[in-house]
Amino acid sequence: MTNPHQTRSVCICVSGDIGHSPRMQYHSLSLAEVGYHVDIVADQESRPHEKLLSNPRIRIHPLSSYQSIRCSNRFSHIPPGFPRIINYFFKILFNTIFLLWNLMLIPRPDYILVQNPPSVPTLAIVWFVCRIRSCKFIIDWHNYGHTIMALSLGAKHPLVRLYSRIEFNFGKRSDYSFCVTRAMKDDLRERTGKKAIVLYDRPYSFFQPITSIEEKHLFLVKLKSEYSQLEYHGQNETLFTRYSFKNDEYQMKSNRPIILISSTSWTKDEDFQILLDALYEFDQNYANKVIGTDNDLKIVCFITGKGPMKSYYIRMVEKSYSFRHTRFVFPWLSAEDYPKLLACADLGICLHKSSSGLDLPMKVLDMFGARLPVCAYHYKSISELVIEDQYGLLFNDSASLVQCLMRLLQDFPTCLQLKRMQTNIDSSFDGNDWHSNWKLNALPVFK
């Protein structure tokens, strides 16, 4: 029996990079804030938020990823063209060994909260450890692992079908489950018989609007020094802001270009061809007519993140398109700088398609936290998050995205529709942050 005076503990398990898992970072911060000790067992390929690293109640136990093992000197002789099925088998074997080892070595937690996907072998290992160590087994369903695998292999592939059976078999064995949409809750009830708790993503407190032009200017000056695409000849100016010595004030330039931003992990569930084609059409035929500035540079498009298809799309931008009024920046930002860039932007673009049709993109919540309207790719569950014409617009292809841009960017920087949407977002999300929502819906599970 647990000592009521002893600090209770939760293990957060991620078979992936904790730096790329904002929802699991937020779980950890919320648990620590209400007094729990948190052990995170995860890969640590990129740096998590400083609030996580500096919290005395949170400890990270880094996993060795299969990819890092393959790239080490000892295994560098393994050919890149290693047969997929054998490669996948070894990946599962390595992940099983390292994950099981770490979960058995940490102090016994009262709960293990595991992110899904990936499902195999993670769910089976966590279930086994929970039975051995008498912990509660909690799954946080972000999406379905078998639907992501189906993007590469096809839905009818034997491995995909086996993966699906394993995924939902262990889903049935969980003590509690969280999920990200009502649609996923209904689907899980049908597949597993379990009643999952809908825990909507909400922006964490560090995603906020920046109301100070001085703060925006100083951040943009920093970016100007780091990315050549943002170079500007004025010492106290950026492409977007200036400091006026005469008036002793910081100003937004009236002829500044629009800042578009899209965040991505550069995987197959986001088709950046849609964005590139739409921006090229807008650039060639509509930019001068729609955007009411005398600057030849009309749009600066930031595409943040890193992943397997990033270099492919960068080459495509450089070699396959001849933009006249649009400039691209492909930054990899720290966890502290990314919210600042969102707060400086004018419009967000989300290309997430959802392999299952049941999940929601966390990046849109981050944008809403910064009071940034969003154009999002339309699929089954997205309307649970992006209410059309209130928080943004939805599109199905490059042609409809062009129409969204024409509608929202008309007469920039006036843009009455954008300002109305910003007001709507502010009314809906002011005070409705991650921790408030988490305490209401998730905390009761851990009591």
Q: Which amino acid is at 126?
A: V
Q: CA nearest 202: which of 29, 368, 445?
A: 368
pLDDT string in tens for the chain (447-residue length):
444 436 799 999 999 899 989 999 999 999 999 999 999 999 988 889 999 999 999 999 998 754 444 444 444 445 555 566 676 677 778 878 889 999 999 999 999 999 999 999 999 999 999 999 999 999 999 999 999 999 989 999 999 999 999 999 999 999 999 999 999 999 999 999 999 999 999 998 889 999 999 999 999 999 999 999 998 877 789 999 999 888 889 999 999 999 999 998 887 778 889 999 999 999 999 998 888 777 889 999 999 988 888 898 899 998 889 999 999 999 989 989 999 999 999 999 999 999 999 999 999 999 999 999 999 999 989 999 999 999 999 999 999 999 999 999 998 998 999 999 999 999 998 878 899 999 999 999 998
Set out the domains of the chain in order of their start, with CATH numbers: 9-202+435-446 (3.40.50.2000), 213-430 (3.40.50.2000)
**Hey, what's the torsion of the CAs at 287, 291, 293, 295, to 10 degrees?**
-20
pLDDT confidence of residue 285: 94
Instruction: Tell me the HSE value of 303 on the side-chain side, using a 13 A CA sphere.
Output: 24
Task: Determine the Cα–Cα distance for residues 421 and 216; give it in Å rounded to an integer.
Answer: 21
Q: How far is the C-alpha of 258 from the C-alpha of 297, rounded, in Å?
A: 9
**pLDDT given at position 193:** 95
> Do 269 and 351 form a contact (C-beta atoms < 8 A)?
no
Q: For residue 81, what pLDDT is reported?
A: 54
Give me the long-range contacts of 49-55 (CB less than 8 A, separation at least 24): 49/25, 49/206, 49/335, 49/336, 50/335, 50/336, 51/206, 52/18, 52/25, 52/28, 55/28, 55/29
Indicate left, alpha or beta for 371 from its phi (over 0: left) and psi (-120 to 50: alpha): left
CA separation, residue 48 to residues 15, 34, 102, 285, 438 (Å): 15, 20, 19, 42, 20
CA angle 40, 42, 45 (to 5 degrees): 125
What letter represents residue 97's amino acid?
I
Q: Which amino acid is at 420?
A: R
Burial of 341 (0-12, 13-18, 19+ CB in 10 A): buried
For tokens 């920093």, the residue is: 222
Please tell me the distance from the alpha carbon of residue 334 to that of residue 47, in angstroms, as a whole number: 8
- Residue 243 carries which side chain, given as an amino acid letter? Y
The C-alpha atoms of residue 338 and residue 332 are separated, in whole angstroms, by: 9
- Please give the distance of CA 181 from its chain centroid, rounded to a whole number: 16
Counting Cβ atoms within 10 Å, is residue 437 exposed (0-12), middle (13-18) or buried (19+)?
A: middle
What pLDDT is attached to residue 180? 97
d(CA 272, CA 376): 12
As given in the structure block, the two tokens for residue 76 are 């560098």
